Amino acid sequence: MNALLAADLPYWVQSLLRVLGGLVAVLLPAGTIVYLFLFKMMSFMQSRLGPMEAGPYGSMQLFAEVGKWLQKEDITPARADRTIFKIAPLVVLASTFLLVAVVPFGPDAWFTNFEAGVFYMLAVSSVSVLGILIAGWSSANKYSLLGGLRAAGQLIAYELPMVLAVIGVIIQAGTMNLQGIVVAQNGGEIFGWNGLGNPYILTQFTGFIIFMIAVQAELTQTPFDMPIAESELVSGYMTEYSGFRFLTFFIAEFATAGVFSLIASVLFLGGWGVPFAWFDWKSIDDISDWMNVVGPLIMFTKMMVLAFIIMWVRFSYPRFREDQLQRFAWKVLIPISLVNIMITAILKVAF
């Protein structure tokens, strides 16, 4: 991939390749496997078997459902704002595509190597709010409108704790480059002991918890699924969508869960790396080439663990009310993350 990108291609071709590479290499497999794994897992949690008919143990279920949705009629409500209505799902999906572009999968396996990777990641993840808001607004449906407004309020409220939680990591790593953060974790040490490196889940545990809560809210998963709220708003901003466009929302939901798990594993679990002390690597240049193959597998394992946690919470909790959620974000999460930043900064200077 890198050799290809290093070749003399126009900038737009490079960008296109990066995004398509993300789609083909990461999002499709991640989406499929996350979807199947989670549906089976959720079924066992709920004492049932889950999909069993399509393929062995229902492993082809996603393809069956995609096929079903593609056959359905693409309905636009008569009073809807047609253009915006049709764009909205794509905006949501685009945010997922853009997110995956900065995630490093190995020492050389990345799509882009931004210096301000964390900044970029936080910025593009909020693009999905826009998609949800315009989907709610343009549907010409009162339930959708309520859902869209709730989504906007919620996603903006949770953007802040997420940013603040990540700042602790940035302070510790001393870089905003995601690759740099991975290297800093695996090459790091905790009080002189480097057997595990320094995965920030240990030193930034508060930050990790806040980040995961914010991710849960960002993904509009239960306990923060008020914008969707099947039992109140009948799926909120998605109510009027059918066929392919609903499929887009649906895939974006699972793919974004996967991508946020990837990002959380990069920020807090050491990403693709193994502790450098195990192989006597000193810097990123020493790392053997086989890490480009093993690294993505390690990432994938971590992603599954985190996605499991996200879905575990989703299937065991009831949902908050909108005002309770705002109170939780502003009165609990933000003060805690500010204190976390302060303590991290003090300790960083002290050690």
Partner 1 sequence: MTSTESLIDRRQLAYIASQAADARLNVELETEGMTLNIGPQHPATHGTLRIIAHLDGEQVVWAEPSCGYMHRGYEKLTEVRTYPQVTSLVNRIDWLGSFANEVPFILAAEKLMGIEAPPRAQWIRTILFELSRIANVSLFLGDLGVQLGAVTPVFMAFRDREHVLNLIEATTGGRFHPNFDRIGGLKDDLPAGFIDETRAVMKTLRNFCTEMEDLLFGNEIFQSRTRGIGVIPKDIAMQYGLSGANLRASGVDWDLRRDQSLPMAWDKVDWKVWTHPDGDSFARCWIRLQEVRESTLIVDQLLNNIPSGPVMAKVPRIIKVPEGEAWVSTENPLGEMGYYVVSKGDLGPFRTKIRSASFNNISIVPWILKGVYVPDIITILASLYFILGDIDR
CB of 120 to partner 1, least distance (A): 33
- The answer to the question of residue 45 lying near partner 1 (CB under 8 A) is yes
Distance, CA of 86 to CA of 88 (rounded, Å): 6
Please answer whether residues 47 and 41 qualify as being in contact, where contact means their C-beta atoms are separated by less than 8 angstroms: no
Find the radius of gyration of the CA atoms of the chain: 21
- The answer to the question of residue 322 lying near partner 1 (CB under 8 A) is yes
Choosing from 8, 73, 289, 323, the residue that interacts with partner 1 (CB under 8 A) is 323
CB of 126 to partner 1, least distance (A): 23
- The answer to the question of residue 47 lying near partner 1 (CB under 8 A) is yes
User: Which stretch in 6-14, 142-150, 195-203, 283-291 sits in contact with partner 1 by CB under 8 A?
Assistant: 142-150
User: Which stretch in 12-20, 32-40, 45-53, 254-262 sits in contact with partner 1 by CB under 8 A?
Assistant: 45-53
By CB under 8 A, the residues from 255 to 294 that bind partner 1 are none
CB atoms within 10 A of CB 323: 9
Residue 26: helix, strand or coil by DSSP? helix
By CB under 8 A, the residues from 192 to 251 that bind partner 1 are 222-223, 225-226, 229-234
Distance, CA of 190 to CA of 212 (rounded, Å): 23
CB of 224 to partner 1, least distance (A): 10
User: Which stretch in 118-126, 289-297, 309-317, 329-337 sits in contact with partner 1 by CB under 8 A?
Assistant: 309-317
- Say which amino acid occupies 226: M
CB of 155 to partner 1, least distance (A): 17
Choosing from 39, 315, 326, 336, the residue that interacts with partner 1 (CB under 8 A) is 315
Size of the site for partner 1 (CB under 8 A): 27
Q: Which of 217, 214, 77, 65 lies closest to 136, judged by CA?
A: 77
Give the pair of three-digit tokens for residue 164.
């603040």
- CA separation, residue 168 to residues 79, 162, 196, 211, 330 (Å): 47, 11, 20, 11, 18
Question: Which helix (H) or strand (E) covers residue 192, if one does?
Answer: none
CB of 147 to partner 1, least distance (A): 11
Distance, CA of 299 to CA of 281 (rounded, Å): 19
- CA separation, residue 101 to residues 18, 105, 111, 250, 288 (Å): 7, 11, 5, 21, 23
Q: Decide whether 144 or 203 has the Cβ nearer to partner 1.
A: 144
User: Which stretch in 29-37, 42-50, 261-269, 294-302 sits in contact with partner 1 by CB under 8 A?
Assistant: 42-50
- Say which amino acid occupies 311: M
- The answer to the question of residue 158 lying near partner 1 (CB under 8 A) is no
Q: Decide whether 65 or 232 has the Cβ nearer to partner 1.
A: 232
CB of 145 to partner 1, least distance (A): 8
User: Which stretch in 18-26, 103-111, 116-124, 316-324 sits in contact with partner 1 by CB under 8 A?
Assistant: 316-324
CB atoms within 10 A of CB 278: 12
To the nearest 10 degrees (0 to 180), the angle between helices 127-138 and 117-125 is 10
CB of 322 to partner 1, least distance (A): 7
Distance, CA of 47 to CA of 54 (rounded, Å): 20
By CB under 8 A, name the binding residues for partner 1.
45-48, 142-143, 146, 222-223, 225-226, 229-234, 315-324
